[in-house]
Every structure is written in structure tokens, then in C-alpha cells.
Amino acid sequence: MTERELTLADYLAMLRRRWMLIVVLALAGGPLAYGVSRFLPDRYKSQTLVLVERPSVPERIVQSLDTEDLSQRLSSMQQQILSRSRLEPIITQFGLYSSDVNKIPMEDLVGRLQKAIEVNPILPMAETQSRQLPGFYVNVTMGNPRTAQQVCTAVTSMFIEENLRQRQEHSANTTDFLVSQLAEAKTNLDEQEAETYRYWQSRPVGERLIAVCELSDAAYAFVANFKGAPVHDDQGLQRPVARVQRKRS
């Protein structure tokens, strides 16, 4: 069976066959939609935008202090904030679902509030070439506009406070790690100095004097080259070493 392209005559034929249905839908569609909307409950959405300010220090330092991605922190905070222990006080504080408090278990009311809260991350712009999330939206949909705004403000405040707490905890752990690394480095340096001291204490006096003279010569040459002055007295620099060698012989 071959298919042919529909022409204008075909469309007019279909219109003549279905003209009654089209007229009925055109006349009854608007009033029917209005009537249905009158029976649907009113829903109001309150939205808050939370932007994350990036540190002003170089990125190599930021990575060493804050390696956790915002998306990971956001997922962790969302699980904590949308738990029953955090949402039940909000239900009590703002009197949410007051007509159902004594009829429905608190777990179901918390689940209803969880469905009313949406957290949507903001995707970074392609021009920035950044993989870090610039922020996120907190949306709360309720039957009362004032209640939706109050709940959205409370949930947003919990996200900000939780983020601050995690950052402070992470900074404290980083500081403790750096302090421990510094103490370990100092201990290793003290052990190396003690080992060096014991080594030279076990060497003869003449060898220690030769080492001191060689270090003095190297220091003098370094200072002279640093200041741009040529080293003229090469023989004078070797005289203390020669005297020590003559004494040893």
C-alpha cells in the first residue's frame, strides 16, 4: 500500500466530516477549562537563589584546602535538611497542615513537605569553562503565599548555616593536618641536626677545622659574587686550610 501526500481537498473533506466536534470543543473548551481551574487548589511557589562566592586566593591553594565539590556538599546537605528531625520543627513552627496534624502520622506530613521542597543546582555557563556549580535554587510550593515564603526562607537559612558549619569543620580539620605536618617536619629537622652534630663530634679536630674553613671560603665567595665583587685573594682563602694541613702533618 502506497502513501500519498495529503492535499488541500483532503483537509477540507476532513473538516466537513468533523465540523460538529470542532465547534463543540471550541465553544465548550474554554468554559470547561475555567470550571476545572476553579475546583483545583491554589498553589504558590516561593523561590530563593543562593549564589556561592568563590575564594579570592589562588586555585592551587583553594584545592588543597577545599577539595569537596559543591554538588557533593549540596547533596549531603539536602539529605540532612530534608530529614524528619529538621522538617518537623518547621511544620510545628508555621502550623503547616493544621487540619491533618491529629489525623495523619507525622511521617506522612514530613513526606508531604519534602515533596513541596525542591533544590535545583544551577549549571555553570559554557563560557566560564568551570565545572563548579555557581549556586542553587530553593523552591517551596504551598497553598498559601505567605506560608510558602516563610518556609522557603527557613529552609534556605538551614542550607546556609549547614554549609557554614561544614566549611568551618573542614577548615579546622585542614588546620590540624597542617599543624601536625609542621610538627613532624620540625621533628625530622631536629633529628637531622642532632645526627649531624654527633657525626662531627666523632671526627678529629683537624678535620672539623678544615670543614669550617671550607664553609667560610664558600660563604665568602657567595657573598662576593652576590655583591658583584670579584674574588681576588684566592691564595688568602687557602692559607687557613694550608696551615691546618701543615699542623696535621
The count of domains in the chain is 2
- My answer on whether 156 and 57 are in the same domain is yes
**CA–CA distance from 10 to each of 13, 14, 25, 154 (Å)?**
5, 6, 22, 61
- My answer on whether 51 and 109 are in the same domain is yes
- My answer on whether 223 and 139 are in the same domain is no
Ranges assigned E (strand) in 40-134: 44-51, 117-122
Assigned domain for 36 exists: no
Is the pLDDT at 86 greater than 60? The verdict is yes
Instruction: Provide the pLDDT confidence category of residue 179 given band limits of 50, 70 and 90.
Output: confident
Percent of the chain residues topping a pLDDT of 70: 66
How much is the pLDDT for 236? Answer: 45
Assigned domain for 11 exists: no
Instruction: Provide the pLDDT confidence category of residue 244 given band limits of 50, 70 and 90.
Output: very low
The single residue listed with the C-alpha cell 491533618 is 100
Assigned domain for 23 exists: no
- My answer on whether 237 and 120 are in the same domain is no
- Residue where a domain terminates, one of 131, 161, 178: 178
Assigned domain for 144 exists: yes
Assigned domain for 221 exists: yes
Assigned domain for 17 exists: no
Write the CATH number for 149: 3.30.1890
Mean pLDDT, the chain, rounded, equals: 75
Query: Which of the pair, 62 or 136, is modelled with greater confidence?
Result: 136
Apex 52 CA angle, 46 and 58, nearest 5: 175
The single residue listed with the C-alpha cell 491529629 is 102
- My answer on whether 71 and 174 are in the same domain is yes
- Residue where a domain terminates, one of 178, 194, 228: 178
**pTM confidence score:** 0.54
For residue 72, the enclosing domain spans: 43-178
Instruction: Give dist(CA 91, CA 151) in Å, integer.
Output: 9
Provide the Cα torsion 101, 107, 110, 116; round to 10°: -100
**CA–CA distance from 75 to each of 58, 136, 163 (Å)?**
26, 11, 11
Instruction: Give dist(CA 139, CA 146) in Å, integer.
Output: 14
Assigned domain for 132 exists: yes
- Residue where a domain terminates, one of 162, 178, 194: 178
Q: pLDDT, tens digit, for every residue of 149-178? A: 999 999 999 988 888 887 777 666 667 677
Is the pLDDT at 71 greater than 80? The verdict is no
